[in-house]
Structure 1
Amino acid sequence: MKIKELREKNIEELKKVLMEKQESVRRLRFDISSKQIKNNRDLRNDKKDIARILTLINESK
């Protein structure tokens, strides 16, 4: 997600997206460890999205 898209969301929506991304990272880690997926790019992008979301949540405090 782009930072511009994330800035348009309120805190509750950001927390919901954060939970979804964290679950996605868990699934991707499992898939990578069991060699079911070879593309690590999705994992990296999700982790960056999590960092962006946490930054926006902390900025709003």
Structure 2
Amino acid sequence: MKASELRGKSIEELEGQIADLKKEQFNLRFQGATAQLENTARVRQVRRDIARIQTVVNEKRASA
């Protein structure tokens, strides 16, 4: 997911994506705690995607 792709979306769509990624992050943490997590790199990727989307949302709010 690139920031340029995110800038074309509305704030509501981005907030929906954040909610989905936070659910995924919770599930990944739960899988890690129960030793069922297969792709450990996904935890980092999801965390960075959340931060990237939040940055774009903040940029959009600041410019509006």
Structure 1 length as normaliser, TM-score?
Answer: 0.92
SS in structure 2 at match of 1:56: helix
Alignment deviations for residues 13-32 of structure 1 (CA, whole Å, 9 cap, x no partner) = 00000000000000000001
- Give 1:45's aligned residue: 45
Q: Give, in whole Å, the separation in 2 of the partners of 1:41 and 1:6.
A: 22
Alignment deviations for residues 17-51 of structure 1 (CA, whole Å, 9 cap, x no partner) = 00000000000000011000132111100000000
Which contiguous aligned blocks of 4+ residues in structure 1 show a shift greater than 6 angstroms? none
Q: CA RMSD in A?
A: 0.9
- Give 1:16's aligned residue: 16
Q: Give, in whole Å, the separation in 1 of the partners of 2:59 and 2:18.
A: 15
Aligned length, in residue pairs: 61
Which protein, 1 or 2, shows the higher relative CO under an 8 Å CA cutoff with sep ≥ 6? 2
Larger radius of gyration: 2
Q: Which runs of 5 or more structure 2 residues have no equivalent in the other structure?
A: none
- Give 1:7's aligned residue: 7
Structure 2 length as normaliser, TM-score?
Answer: 0.88
SS in structure 2 at match of 1:39: coil
The Cα shift of 1:3 comes to 1.2
Q: Which runs of 5 or more structure 1 residues have no equivalent in the other structure?
A: none
